[in-house]
Amino acid sequence: MTIQQFLAIVCCLCFLSGCENTDVITATDAGFDAVKALTLSDQDVQEIAIQSAQYSDEQHTLAPPDSKYAQRLNGLVGQKFQDGNLQFNYAVYVSPEVNAFAMANGTIRVYSGLMDMLDDGELRFVIGHEMGHVIKKHIRKKIQLAYAASAVRKGVASQNNAAGDIARSLFGGLAETLMNAQFSQLEEKEADDYGLAFLQREKFAPEDAVSALKKIAKLARGHSFLSSHPDPDKRAARLQAQLEGRSLSIEQNKQDIIARFRAFIAELLSSLYSQLHRLLTTANGFSR
């Protein structure tokens, strides 16, 4: 469902039962969220990311600077893990959960449970993968979906009836759920490609990308981190094929298609020019 469809649903929800049954303030707020989903600026995205990161940090236990986890992460990332003008910031959540995530402003958080499972090289790939989600602006799409979901929730809640009561209790966490939703298959592949390219660019062992995904594949299905979209074993095989020169990354495929298209257009134009030149030459010969 597109964001435009979300907006249409909100409008319907607000007026289906008649104005007398509608909480106008809540309905207006719903409309605002729907519009916001369509008009998010880069500054909006950054501000939302900053606030979300602060909220998340407050809800978790951050590893102190002198802890083994913080020291290990700092030793791995230092000042090297940047991309252009985008500055990433890293920290560890002390939790047995196997997880990691990134925010649109470059915030990256790694759970100690994940650090316990991976060696240094594999952890570098995971960090590069999360950087990829930021660089490719995947998180912006999730924020837009979260606003659209909020609009639907508030639109339902604006009805002063049983449906509104249910919405207030059941839909309250919908936006947050969407913020933590899995990325699409294409987005995960793009982040994998970025993580692999990152290891190669920084002169780290690219094989660690394959090793990390194989370890993650052994986790129970209950773990959310990299456990789907698509299967980690298939993702590992995909990156292995790239390392062996049997396939290209998504970005390389795009560039290859663009290059072939440009070559085709250039050849077509050259052929047309040659034909036109022959026609003009022949016409000039007849005119004499």
Same domain, 152 and 62: yes
Looking at residue 163, what is its pLDDT? 40
Same domain, 55 and 80: yes
By the 8 A CB rule, do 230 and 287 touch? no
Looking at residue 2, what is its pLDDT? 52
Looking at residue 6, what is its pLDDT? 46
Looking at residue 170, what is its pLDDT? 35
Same domain, 171 and 235: yes
Q: Which domain holds residue 288?
A: 251-288
By the 8 A CB rule, do 155 and 30 touch? yes
Mean pLDDT to the nearest integer, 24-45: 54
Looking at residue 62, what is its pLDDT? 96
Same domain, 68 and 119: yes
Give the pairing type, strands 100-102 and 89-93. unpaired
**Which has the minimum average pLDDT: 71-75, 111-115, 216-220, 263-267?**
216-220
Q: At what angle do helices 3-15 and 24-39 cross, to 10 degrees?
A: 170
In the chain, the percentage of residues whose pLDDT exceeds 90 is: 30
What is the SS3 string spanning the chain? CCHHHHHHHHHHHHHCCCHHHECHHHHHHHHHHHHHHHHCCHHHHHHHHHHHHHHHHHHCCECCCCCHHHHHHHHHHCCCCCECCECCEEEEECCCCCCEEECCCCEEEEEHHHHHHCCHHHHHHHHHHHHHHHHCCHHHHHHHHHHHHHHHHHHHHCECCHHHHHHHHHCCCHHHHHHCCCCCHHHHHHHHHHHHHHHHHCCCCCHHHHHHHHHHHCCCCCCCCCCCCCCHHHHHHHHHHHHCCCCCCHHHHHHHHHHHHHHHHHHHHHHHHHHHHHHHHHHHHHHC
Same domain, 206 and 79: yes
pLDDT digit string (tens) for 40-87?
Answer: 677 777 777 787 788 888 888 999 999 999 999 999 887 566 777 788
The yes-or-no verdict on residue 116 having pLDDT over 90 is yes
Same domain, 226 and 114: yes
Same domain, 17 and 99: yes
Cα–Cα distances in Å, from 266 out to 252, 254, 271, 275, 276? Answer: 21, 18, 9, 14, 15
Same domain, 144 and 283: no
pLDDT digit string (tens) for 132-169?
Answer: 999 998 887 777 666 655 544 454 444 444 444 433 43
**Confidence (pTM):** 0.71
pLDDT digit string (tens) for 199-257?
Answer: 999 899 999 999 999 998 887 555 555 555 578 889 999 999 999 999 888 888 777 78
Mean pLDDT to the nearest integer, 106-116: 94
Same domain, 221 and 270: no
Same domain, 56 and 184: yes
By the 8 A CB rule, do 56 and 89 touch? no
Catalytic site residue from 20, 58, 130, 251: 130
**Which has the minimum average pLDDT: 3-12, 31-40, 82-91, 122-131?**
3-12
**122: annotated active-site residue:** no
Same domain, 220 and 266: no
* Torsion sign over Cα 279, 280, 281, 284: positive
Quote the number of domains for the chain.
2
Looking at residue 225, what is its pLDDT? 59
Same domain, 269 and 150: no
Q: How confident is the model at residue 192 (pLDDT cuts 50, 70, 90)?
A: very high
Looking at residue 40, what is its pLDDT? 65
Looking at residue 220, what is its pLDDT? 55
